[in-house]
Amino acid sequence: MGPVSNFFNEPFFVRNFLRNTIRDLRIGSYEFRYGIGAVIRPNYAYLVYQAAKQAARLGEPRVSLLEFGVAGGAGLRAMEHHAVQAEKIFPVKIELYGFDTGEGLPPPEDYRDLPYHWKANFFKMDVADLKKNLKRSTLVLGNVADTVGTFIEQYNPAPIGAVSQDLDYYSSTMAAFKLFDADNTRFLPRVICYFDDTIGGDAELYNDFTGERLAIHEFNATHSMAKMSPAYYLTAMPLAPVWHHRIWSLHYFDHPKYNTFISEENQQLTLSGR
């Protein structure tokens, strides 16, 4: 469906108009705007906020966030904006890394890369221009199959707390997943993941046997102590926006801090249940 048909299928026009007004005029605190989704690219805000929050509760002074598939760089710049705000709320320093070929998509390898929807050279990056506009992010350029294997040794990132996956292909996503085989202490116990290409529309017809969804399935099938799962509380929210359905969490069950308590201290219920 195009923009016009989406408009006429939008049942909450007034609510969305108010949210966008609050976002554009920056009404209220950042935490207030974050809580109602009145921020730019709320999916990126969620990644940054949740990674910083978990790191702070675990006593980690630093945390890293990664984006696979930077393209024009709008998403990475949004993460930079949200990182500045999150650092004002949590006592955590945030590092940002963006992975991209810089040359657009490589040729699809087979049907699992959905060549009926993607083409080589889509999403080519203007590297020089993007570097001028990034304020705190590090670009990791090259084929992800090559760069991901040396990333930790070369950059020594803070524990990784969130990852945005937007590599489009099954093959590229599987290559990026090799990062998750590093020692689990290089990550937070639960890594928030955003998978851009898991919903789509009538052209993509994403399914569980191609693309990112197949990559997720195969990762889970081959890892006994690390599993990816949808964030069910987000999808269960009333009027959940589409990006809620693209959030997953990667759990490292044998992480040394997996069982560290990070929830609210006072959860006692009275006889009335309040």
What is the DSSP-derived secondary structure letter of residue 40?
A: S
All structural domains of the chain, each given as residue ranges with its CATH number in brackets, are 9-39 (no CATH), 41-252 (3.40.50.150)
Reduced 3-state DSSP string for 116-135 = CCCCCCCCCCCHHHHHHHCC
Are 168 and 198 contacting, i.e. CB atoms less than 8 angstroms apart?
no
Residue 37 CA to residue 25 CA, distance in Å, equals: 14
> Distance between CA atoms of 53 and 188, rounded to whole angstroms?
11
Are residues 179 and 208 in contact, defined by beta-carbon separation less than 8 angstroms? no
Which residues lie closer than 8 Å to 68 by C-beta, 6 or more apart? 99, 100, 144, 163, 164, 165, 166, 167, 172, 173, 176
Helices within the chain (DSSP H only): 3-8, 13-25, 30-35, 42-57, 74-89, 127-133, 144-147, 151-155, 170-177, 211-222, 232-235
- What's the rounded Cα separation, in Å, for the pair 213 and 140? 25
Q: Which of 162, 130, 177, 137 has its CA nearest to residue 51?
A: 162
Per-residue pLDDT of the chain (274 residues; tens, 9 = 90+): 454 445 445 556 677 888 888 898 889 999 999 988 889 999 999 999 999 999 999 999 999 999 999 999 999 999 999 999 999 999 999 999 999 999 999 999 999 999 999 999 999 999 999 999 999 999 999 999 999 999 999 999 999 999 999 999 999 999 999 999 999 999 999 999 999 999 999 999 999 999 999 999 999 999 999 999 999 999 999 889 999 999 999 999 999 999 999 998 877 777 665 5
